[in-house]
Amino acid sequence: MIYLCRHGETAFNREGRIQGQMDSSLTGLGRKQARAMADCLAGLIDDPAGWRIVASPLERTRETAAAIAERLGLPVELDDRLMEVHVGDWQDLLHKQLLKAHPELDGDRMWCFRGPGGESYDGMLARIRSWLDEQPEDGKLIVVSHGVAGRLLRGLYAGLTREAMMALPIPQDAIFGLHAGQIERFECEPAA
């Protein structure tokens, strides 16, 4: 069983700034979202013994994982393979700046793999697959990752096409359960 969480809202999210693999702290809302995910997981998991929390090493995922770890009394492991896509030269740009310079990217779900010096779809897919392939089928995992990374992880797990993967939602107020080849969405209490 894998419970997959996306980090809470960050300052960059709020600004509409492209993060990629840059660090950005959680906002007040983001910290509330992290606590709401922790509470949701506490309701889904009867006994946290035997569960592992694995997170991307970026600041926003570490902060979110820390809230979950505190609630469940578990340590956090970090794995670079769960990091967000590196968007190259486009990191730190406002999304509206990118679209002004490259209007052809408007509506292009693959835009994040087109940045000069950035990571390719195939490269990112390989690193996510590498992590997923190492996980035991009977493992009990809580994963804290990112929007695009979470899309690819769910897509690989469910055998989705690239187009279907990139169309998956990336909420910051829900958890996805991956079990027996199925994906189930669990809504967290709204963080106001």
Residues known to be catalytic: 7, 84
Choose among 12, 80, 40: nearest CA to 184.
40
Alpha helices in 1-117 (DSSP H): 11-15, 28-44, 59-72, 95-101
Interaxial angle between packed helices 59-72 and 28-44, expressed in degrees from 0 to 180 and rounded to the nearest 10: 40
Q: How far are the Cα atoms of 34, 45, 93, 101, 126 from residue 19, in angstroms, in the given order?
A: 18, 31, 8, 18, 21
Q: Which amino acid is at 134?
A: E
Cα–Cα–Cα angle for 79, 81, 85, rounded to 5 degrees:
130
According to DSSP, the β-strands at 174-179 and 2-6 are antiparallel
SS3 state at 116: coil
